[in-house]
Amino acid sequence: MGIPNFVDYVKMQLRSGKGGAGIIHFMRAKFLPKGGPDGGDGGRGGHIILRGNKQYATLLHLKYRKHVHAPNGQTGGDGCKTGANGKDVVLDVPLGTVAKSEDGEEILLEILEDKKKYLLLEGGKGGWGNAHFKTATHQVPRIAYPGEAGLAAWIVLELKLLADVGLVGLPNVGKSTLLSVISAAKPRIADYPFTTLLPNLGVVAYREQGSFVMADMPGIIEGASTGKGLGIRFLRHIERNSVLVFMVEATVADIGKAYALLQRELTAYNPLLLDKPRLLVITKIDLLDSTARADLVRTIPSPIQTLFISAHTEEGLTQLKDAIWQALHPVG
């Protein structure tokens, strides 16, 4: 499935609520003219909370909410009544969302579970009323505390798609075609580079009851890790993939050279990406005769498990799904 209006990055100014003030108050009744202190505490300020929601696939619904402020807590009342807490603000986000500091250096939260709430900014505590300060030697306290200030910060939300398998390759290598053939996804396909401008997800059925989620990423070119082409915008999604499938077209002059380029770009972005299990898939193999196929094998790098496929004729697709499944579910 393609993801319409895909938004995977938003920056928001968030502020939790201020705590309500405690009050100074003394009990007064007809037959109790000098009652003790009964000033109540202020209520807590509202929290800012992120909640995982598997129904969302993008951050589009938050794109235009630049400023989000939680309500303040209410002032305490007489009779030791605590003020009402400020209402929490709950922001639903897709699974795989990461909350970061404004500069992007510090990861604050990772949202991985559906319906689970994650506290992002805590509301300020309510201040104590004067009832809190009564002691045997200080029976008429005339002191109360104001509520604590809430927290304010610019927060970056980044979505990293949760997919089992990520397709990595140069533009126009056949990633979208493969996804369209082995899943129900309908990505945009054309015979020119950078047809895929947004990630596409597809659920691939395997054998009788198995399945896995595959993500087709926009093509990577040399210099992508420094911002060329579509740059690093979509490389972050690869960080969530359990298995990486490197795809190289059969008609390129040197398979090893093309594979090395993809490795360099991923390493420059995040060296840990190459610690993931990976496969090398040679696409469009139907375009080569037996002699050309034999010549092709000489340029394949080793050691890496290599498979030959044609999405057009469906050659090798069963073997590819078997290899992916085994990589996702290693024995021992």
Determine if residue 182 is labeled as part of a ligand binding site.
Answer: no
Q: Which of 139, 140, 150, 182 is nearest to 283 (CA)?
A: 182
Instruction: Say if CB 47 and CB 89 are below 8 A apart.
Output: yes
- Residue 221: φ, ψ to 5°: -115, 170
Determine if residue 311 is labeled as part of a ligand binding site.
Answer: yes
30 against 205, higher pLDDT: 205
Residue 323 pLDDT greater than 90, yes or no: yes
Segment 295-314 shows an average pLDDT of 87
Instruction: Say if CB 57 and CB 94 are below 8 A apart.
Output: yes
How do residues 169-219 score in pLDDT, each as one tens digit? 888 888 888 988 998 766 554 444 444 456 778 889 998 878 998 888 777
Question: In the prediction, which pLDDT does 43 show?
Answer: 97
Buried b (16+ CB within 10 A) or exposed e, 224-242: bbeeebbbbebbbbbbbbb
Bridge partners (DSSP) of residue 110 are 98
Amino acid at 288: L
Bridge partners (DSSP) of residue 43 are none
Q: Angle, to 10 degrees, between the axis of helix 175-182 and the axis of helix 317-328?
A: 90
Output the average pLDDT for the chain: 86
Determine if residue 303 is labeled as part of a ligand binding site.
Answer: no
> What is the total residue count of the chain?
332
Question: In the prediction, which pLDDT does 2 show?
Answer: 46
Amino acid at 202: G
How do residues 236-284 score in pLDDT, each as one tens digit? 778 888 999 999 999 888 888 889 989 988 888 888 888 999 999 999 9
Determine if residue 301 is labeled as part of a ligand binding site.
Answer: no
Determine if residue 271 is labeled as part of a ligand binding site.
Answer: no
Class of domain 1-159: mainly beta
Distances (CA, A) of 56 to 59, 66, 135, 161, 162: 8, 19, 54, 11, 12
Determine if residue 101 is labeled as part of a ligand binding site.
Answer: no
Segment 8-35 shows an average pLDDT of 89
Determine if residue 46 is labeled as part of a ligand binding site.
Answer: no
Of the candidate ranges 11-20, 77-86, 144-153, 246-255, the one whose mean pLDDT is the lowest: 246-255
List the alpha helices (DSSP H) in the chain. Answer: 175-182, 235-238, 255-269, 290-297, 317-328
Segment 152-156 shows an average pLDDT of 96
Segment 280-290 shows an average pLDDT of 91
Determine if residue 174 is labeled as part of a ligand binding site.
Answer: yes
Neighbouring CB atoms inside 10 A of 282's CB total 28
Determine if residue 225 is labeled as part of a ligand binding site.
Answer: no
Determine if residue 14 is labeled as part of a ligand binding site.
Answer: no
Instruction: Say if CB 37 and CB 131 are below 8 A apart.
Output: yes
Question: In the prediction, which pLDDT does 71 show?
Answer: 98
Cα angle 110, 113, 116; round to 5: 95
Determine if residue 253 is labeled as part of a ligand binding site.
Answer: no
CATH 2.70.210.12 residue window(s) in the chain = 1-159
Residue 111 pLDDT greater than 50, yes or no: yes
Segment 292-298 shows an average pLDDT of 83
Determine if residue 20 is labeled as part of a ligand binding site.
Answer: no
CATH 3.40.50.300 residue window(s) in the chain = 165-328
Question: In the prediction, which pLDDT does 245 show?
Answer: 94
Residue 33 pLDDT greater than 80, yes or no: no
Determine if residue 175 is labeled as part of a ligand binding site.
Answer: yes
Q: How far is the C-alpha of 127 from the C-alpha of 43, rounded, in Å? A: 8
Q: Which CATH number fits domain 165-328: 3.40.50.360, 3.40.50.300, 3.40.30.10, 3.60.40.10?
A: 3.40.50.300
Show Cβ contacts of residue 271 under 8 Å, excluding neighbours closer than 6 positions. none
Determine if residue 170 is labeled as part of a ligand binding site.
Answer: yes
Question: In the prediction, which pLDDT does 268 show?
Answer: 86
Torsion angle defined by CA atoms of residues 94, 233, 267 and 176, in that order, rounded to the nearest 10 degrees: 80
Round to the nearest angstrom and report the end-to-end CA distance of the chain.
Answer: 33
Which tokens belong to 44? 């807590």
Determine if residue 248 is labeled as part of a ligand binding site.
Answer: no
Q: How far is the C-alpha of 163 from the C-alpha of 172, rounded, in Å? A: 21
Question: In the prediction, which pLDDT does 5 show?
Answer: 60
Question: In the prediction, which pLDDT does 86 show?
Answer: 97
Q: How far is the C-alpha of 171 from the C-alpha of 219, rounded, in Å? A: 4
Percent of the chain scoring above 90 in pLDDT:
48
Neighbouring CB atoms inside 10 A of 91's CB total 23
Instruction: Say if CB 96 and CB 163 are below 8 A apart.
Output: no
